[in-house]
Structure 1
Amino acid sequence: MSETPPPEDELAGTEQPFVQHLMELRDRLIKALVAIAIAAAILFFLPGPGALYDFLAAPLVAQLPKGATLIATSVISPFMVPLKILLMSALMLALPFVLWQVWAFVAPGLYTHEKRLVLPLVISSTLLFFVGVAFCYYLVFGQVFAFIQSFAPKSITAAPDIEAYLGFVLSMFLAFGLAFEVPIAVVVLARMGLVSVRKLREFRGYFIVLAFVVAAIVTPPDVVSQLSLAIPMCLLYEVGIWAAQLFIKHTRAPDADSESTASS
């Protein structure tokens, strides 16, 4: 009985010297930095740093008492804060190109079945992060600021500091952006074999409790923002379980497929 010869390694002969890897990494980093610089230059002239900050502050300004504005308690804050927002916006605008450079650097060292796993995860994680930030800005901020202002006594005139507001916004964007990565985390854990889909379903009740604990820690102490973070996390956990089943089915290594066919 003749044995089937092992399949040829598809990565055989693709090895590169270490110095060449470093040179390629340098070129990819330069391209990413150039893309961020171009995005920053475009945003500097259109719409401009001041307009970007006005856009970012709009949900809070809309809830302040008539005539109230944000204030700057530092001499250089009116310059530095809009500049920070400009750089943050440029990074987000250039993020797809930056991630493409990362993908182009690591892709030659991946097998075909690994590429079928990594590329969709890179794209979906980027989109989910943007969706989380947009969800926070358009749906959460208005409700949170209205809820907070409803508790302010009549004798207090709110005048938030622009640096404090920027720190609050960045922390909220990061919290919601990472929270929307729950499906990616679930898929990776299941695909790596660290936990089965059945165990993920059994863990559902514990995750709901965990989601509310995380929301209570990373968001302001109000019910609106906590529910706005915890409920999407629970829904995205279910999406992650469904996606994990698809990824495990369609990103199996060829040898795993042949073994499963032979055993059946």
Structure 2
Amino acid sequence: MSKMLDGKVAIVTGAGGGLGRTHALYLASKGASVVVNDLALEAAEKVADEIRAQGGRAMAIAASVTDEAAVGAMVAKVTDDWGRIDILINNAGILRDKSFAKMTIDDFRLVVDVHLMGAAICCKAVWETMRAQGYGRIVMTTSSSGLYGNFGQANYGAAKMALIGLMQTLAIEGEKYGIRVNSLAPTAATQMTAGVLSSESLAALDPALVSPGLLALVGPEAPTRTILNAGAGHFACANVTLTEGCYVGGGADAGETLLAKFEQVSDRSGEIVPAYGFTQAEREVASAQRASDGAPA
């Protein structure tokens, strides 16, 4: 069996059960030393024991991803004991599903705090270590609920799409330091999805069928800024794209002109995946310049 991750140290948050557990076991099977993080130490220890029983190296650490001090202490312990941190899997999360009409702002804030701020806190804690060693692999856990929306998950969807924005910028900033940042959008039968999916779907969506996707995202030849969708053994990639669009200009009738040209503006045939956010502005200025020069915009 391939040991592509021999010598690498990985932290998996929310790894005491469900998808985090299968992630931890999978990374260990590929040779990584795994830090099993969870709110509950007992759950983390059970997974760490599983890894050790299979001949791997594991460390269980209880810490909330929203607690900067606890996350900082975890990272310090890992670097003190194992010398480096190569991989961070931001997996910890919660659900507070309700329609937006019934959702409280506290429910919204809590979900954003765990998913988005928890990932940001963990990324910040390992960032300098990865920069100094010139190597790092970070995976955000996004969701189709964020990418495409889902009824009753305004809080969860907002947090999960925000993680894509975090991925995009960290990938750009980390590139020269050998840090590659990607996202995984899993569909898996876990405690979080038990009341959402049918029994037949849950049977097909074994979390262990998602975890192999990590190898493509954290291996030596990993891409960066990739969104990998995974479930039931099926894998696909999602992209945030930009259409070619067209120049409309200003003036009192600009809105009406846009409406008339909206089919061209939204035409996806020439869409691209921008290399960075400023691509939009560059394209807009170039289009305006061509129009002022009398060339087709």
Band the TM-score falls in, shorter-chain normalisation: under 0.3
Q: Which has the higher contact order (CA 8 A, sep 6+)?
A: 1
Structure index of larger Rg = 1
TM-score, normalised to structure 1's length? 0.26
TM-score, normalised to structure 2's length? 0.24
Structure with greater helix percent:
1
Structure with greater strand percent:
2
